Amino acid sequence: MYEITSAASRRAYQLSKLQPYELEENYGKAVSLAARQIFSEQVRFKLVEDDGFEVIPDFKTK
């Protein structure tokens, strides 16, 4: 659970900095958009030793 929460937090930070159109469509709610992306596997995450979690967008369409 910690891993998913940390990954969603990191992704929300990325989204808030990048300001993609999906964020506007989601009424600026970065955390809920980040969680949705992680649970739907639109982004992948992995543990990185020095920096916590790295979140990697997965641009493959399903």
Q: Mind listing the pLDDT tens digit for each residue in 30-51?
A: 999 999 999 998 888 877 666 6
Confidence at residue 61, expressed as pLDDT on a 0 to 100 scale:
44
| 56 band by pLDDT with thresholds 50, 70 and 90 | low
Confidence at residue 58, expressed as pLDDT on a 0 to 100 scale:
60
**What one-letter code names the amino acid at 18?**
L
3 or 38, which is more confident: 38
Give the distance from CA 17 to its chain's centroid.
12
* Alpha helices, H only, 1-62: 2-18, 21-25, 30-39
Question: Which residues have a Cβ under 8 Å from the Cβ of 17 and sit 6 or more positions away?
Answer: none
In this model, does residue 11 exceed pLDDT 60? yes
